[in-house]
C-alpha cells in the first residue's frame, strides 16, 4: 500500500495554506458557539481547535523527524489560546498552518517520520493534513451556510485518499465486526462525478466481493451507483452530505451504499 497521491508535494503545501485560509474565513464574524451539524459534539470553536491542533501535531512530528508519536505536552501551543476569542483563534490557526507547511517544505516528501499509516514519510502528512482541512472546511461551511467547493483535482485526490485509507488492513481489522455483512458476492459500488473532464478520470469502482475493499478508477456497472458533482460525491462519501440529498443520484442497491457509508468511518 503506497497511499500515493496525485499532487506534488509543493501543491499539497500550497493547498494546505489555501484551505486553512478558507477555513479561517468561514469563522470571521460568526458565532463560534454554534453547533457543527456534522460533528454535533463540537462547536465551531471546538472545530477550529481540532484543525489547529492537528496542524501543530503533524508539524511537530515532521519538524522533529519523530520516530514515534509525540506526546501532547511536546506540541508547542497544541491546545491553542485560552478562551474562544475570535482573533486569538484565527491567529493561532494561521500560525499553525505556516509552521506545518514550513516543516513540510524543509523536510521534503521523502523525509522519514512517524505516521499511523504504513507510509512513514513526511509526504504522508502533507497529503493527509491537506484533506483533513478540506473536510473540516466542509463542516464549517455546513454550519455557517456557506458554499463548499474544492478544486477538482484536489477533490478527486481527497476521495482517492479516503478509499486508499479504507483499504488498509488495519482499518479492515478495526472494523471487522461492522464488515461481517458488508463484504461478499455481488457487493460493488460505482462513484461517478458528473461535472469533471474525462482526463480527471473521476470515477471509482469499489469491489467488496472479497474480504476487504479494493478499488479502481474506471466506469463499470455495479450493484449501486452514486452520481453527482465531484464535490458532492466527496461530501457524501465523508458523510458530510446525506445520500438522499437532491444534489446526488443513487441507482441500485441503496442499502448497500448505506452499509458502506456506515462502515467507512474511523469513529
Paired sense of beta strands 249-252 and 224-228, if any: antiparallel
Examine the domain organization and report whether 101 and 47 are in the same domain.
Answer: yes
Residue 94 in domain: yes
Residue 3 in domain: no
Residue 4 in domain: no
Residue 215: name the closest of 201, 228, 229 by CA: 201
**Confidence band for 98, pLDDT divided at 50, 70 and 90:** very high
Residue 238: name the closest of 142, 145, 144 by CA: 142
Residue 60: name the closest of 39, 79, 88 by CA: 79
**Average pLDDT value for the chain:** 94
Examine the domain organization and report whether 216 and 251 are in the same domain.
Answer: yes
Contact 198, 224 (CB under 8 A): no
- Tell me, what's the pLDDT at 267? 60
Examine the domain organization and report whether 13 and 137 are in the same domain.
Answer: yes
Contact 131, 11 (CB under 8 A): no
Structural domain count of the chain: 2
Percent residues over pLDDT 90 in the chain = 90
Average pLDDT over residues 223-233: 98
Domain at 211, CATH number: 3.30.1050.10
C-alpha cell at 219: 466506469
Examine the domain organization and report whether 196 and 77 are in the same domain.
Answer: no
Residue 213 exposure: Cα atoms within 13 Å on the Cβ side: 29
Residue 1 in domain: no
**Confidence band for 111, pLDDT divided at 50, 70 and 90:** very high
Q: Any idea which of 72-86, 119-133, 174-188, 251-265 has the lowest mean pLDDT?
A: 174-188
Examine the domain organization and report whether 160 and 144 are in the same domain.
Answer: no
Contact 60, 74 (CB under 8 A): yes
- Tell me, what's the pLDDT at 1? 52
Q: Look at residue 14 and tell me whether its pLDDT is greater than 60.
A: yes
Contact 153, 127 (CB under 8 A): no
- Tell me, what's the pLDDT at 211? 87
Q: How many CB atoms lie within 10 A of CB 139?
A: 23
Residue 100 in domain: yes
- Tell me, what's the pLDDT at 171? 73
Residue 191 in domain: yes
Domain that holds residue 223: 154-263
Domain at 35, CATH number: 1.20.120.450
- Tell me, what's the pLDDT at 2? 67
Rounded to two decimals, what is the model's pTM? 0.95
Examine the domain organization and report whether 116 and 17 are in the same domain.
Answer: yes
Percent residues over pLDDT 70 in the chain = 95
Examine the domain organization and report whether 27 and 119 are in the same domain.
Answer: yes
Average pLDDT over residues 153-169: 95
Examine the domain organization and report whether 216 and 132 are in the same domain.
Answer: no
102 versus 1: the higher-pLDDT residue is 102
Q: Look at residue 176 and tell me whether its pLDDT is greater than 70.
A: no
Residue 44 in domain: yes
What distance in Å separates the CA atoms of residue 126 and residue 14, rounded to the nearest whole number? 10
Q: Look at residue 172 and tell me whether its pLDDT is greater than 90.
A: no
Which of these three, 148, 178, 201, is where a domain ends?
A: 148
What distance in Å separates the CA atoms of residue 47 and residue 54, rounded to the nearest whole number? 11
Paired sense of beta strands 214-216 and 39-43, if any: unpaired
Paired sense of beta strands 224-228 and 203-207, if any: unpaired
DSSP string, 215-249: EESS----SEEEEE-HHHHHHHHTTSS-TT-TTSE
Examine the domain organization and report whether 144 and 161 are in the same domain.
Answer: no
- Tell me, what's the pLDDT at 170? 76
Which of these three, 90, 118, 148, is where a domain ends?
A: 148
Q: Look at residue 265 and tell me whether its pLDDT is greater than 60.
A: yes
Task: Give residue for cell 468511518.
Answer: 265
Examine the domain organization and report whether 58 and 165 are in the same domain.
Answer: no
Which of these three, 148, 165, 186, is where a domain ends?
A: 148
Sequence-ordered strand ranges (E) for the chain: 35-36, 39-43, 188-193, 203-207, 214-216, 224-228, 249-252
Examine the domain organization and report whether 172 and 123 are in the same domain.
Answer: no
Residue 104 in domain: yes
Q: Any idea which of 175-184, 201-210, 226-235 has the lowest mean pLDDT?
A: 175-184
Examine the domain organization and report whether 158 and 141 are in the same domain.
Answer: no
Phi, psi (5° rounding) for residue 113? -145, 160
Dihedral sign of CA atoms 127, 6, 136, 173 in order: negative
Amino acid at each position: 500500500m503506497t497511499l500515493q497521491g496525485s499532487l506534488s508535494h509543493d501543491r499539497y503545501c500550497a493547498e494546505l495554506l489555501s484551505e486553512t485560509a478558507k477555513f479561517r474565513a468561514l469563522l470571521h464574524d460568526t458565532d463560534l458557539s454554534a453547533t457543527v451539524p456534522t460533528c454535533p459534539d463540537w462547536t465551531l470553536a471546538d472545530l477550529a481547535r481540532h484543525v489547529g491542533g492537528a496542524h501543530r501535531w503533524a508539524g511537530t512530528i515532521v519538524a522533529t523527524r519523530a520516530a514515534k508519536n509525540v506526546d501532547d505536552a511536546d506540541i508547542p501551543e497544541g491546545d491553542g489560546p485560552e478562551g474562544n476569542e475570535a482573533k486569538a483563534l484565527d491567529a493561532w490557526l494561521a500560525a499553525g498552518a505556516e509552521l506545518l507547511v514550513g516543516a513540510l517544505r524543509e523536510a521534503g516528501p521523502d523525509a522519514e517520520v512517524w505516521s499511523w499509516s504504513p507510509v512513514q514519510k513526511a509526504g504522508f502528512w502533507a497529503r493527509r493534513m491537506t484533506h483533513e482541512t478540506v473536510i473540516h472546511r466542509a463542516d464549517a461551511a455546513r454550519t455557517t451556510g456557506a458554499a463548499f467547493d474544492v478544486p477538482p483535482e484536489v477533490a478527486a485526490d481527497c476521495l482517492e485518499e479516503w478509499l486508499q485509507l479504507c483499504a488498509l488492513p488495519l482499518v479492515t481489522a478495526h472494523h471487522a465486526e461492522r464488515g461481517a455483512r458488508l463484504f461478499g458476492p455481488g457487493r460493488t459500488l460505482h462513484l461517478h462525478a458528473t461535472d469533471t473532464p474525462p482526463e480527471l478520470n473521476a470515477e471509482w469502482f469499489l469491489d467488496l466481493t472479497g474480504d476487504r475493499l479494493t478499488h479502481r478508477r474506471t466506469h463499470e456497472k455495479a450493484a449501486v451507483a452514486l452520481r453527482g458533482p465531484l464535490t458532492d460525491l466527496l461530501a457524501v462519501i465523508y458523510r458530510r452530505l446525506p445520500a438522499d440529498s437532491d444534489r446526488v443520484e443513487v441507482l441500485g442497491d441503496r442499502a448497500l451504499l448505506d452499509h458502506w457509508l456506515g462502515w467507512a468511518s474511523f469513529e
